[in-house]
Amino acid sequence: MIRGIRGATTVEENNTGSIIEATLEVMKQIQDKNNVVPEDISHIMITMTDDLNATFPARALRQLDGYQFVPVMCAQEISVPDGLKKCIRLMVTVNTAKRSDDIHHVYLKDAVKLRPDLALTNKQESR
């Protein structure tokens, strides 16, 4: 079965180091909390808000073992008035036998505001 795993985080500054570090942090948590290996991943879509443009966040994933053949696409998130600023969002599409309610979505830093329902659920040790 194909499932989507969502993740999002924010950065303080628009610079390469911050974007790479934040993208790695959220991707590693998605990977660890869902027992995902690169071979399970169909593709990854990453968006950033229009106030982030210092680098492509996909560069971060190239630092992870096994990700050289995972298709990754970056795009700009829709600019919504009063929307969350300096935000990086990921949609990781995976092949898994897990049920949708067994997927652990990862929202970090100010991105918790996007889906507080999922952020609170994922703080539990077990579901």
84, 11 in Cβ contact below 8 A? Answer: no
Active site residue 107: yes
Among 3, 12, 107, 127, the one annotated catalytic? 107
Active site residue 62: yes
| CA distances for 109 relative to 43, 63, 104, angstroms | 24, 22, 16
Active site residue 127: no
Active site residue 12: no
Among 39, 67, 74, 99, the one annotated catalytic? 74
Segments of the chain assigned E as strands: 2-10, 41-48, 72-76, 87-95, 106-107
Among 6, 39, 125, 127, the one annotated catalytic? 6
State yes or no: 89 annotated in a binding site. Answer: yes
Among 25, 59, 67, 115, the one annotated catalytic? 115
State yes or no: 67 annotated in a binding site. Answer: no
Active site residue 67: no
Look at the alpha carbons of 81, 121, 5, 37 in this order and tell me if their dihedral is positive or negative: positive
58, 74 in Cβ contact below 8 A? Answer: yes
Among 12, 13, 21, 62, the one annotated catalytic? 62
Among 13, 25, 77, 99, the one annotated catalytic? 77
3-class DSSP assignment, residue 2:
strand
Active site residue 115: yes
In the annotated binding site, the residues are 6, 89, 107
In the annotated binding site for prephenate, the residues are 6, 89, 107
Which residue numbers are catalytic?
Answer: 6, 62, 74, 77, 89, 107, 115
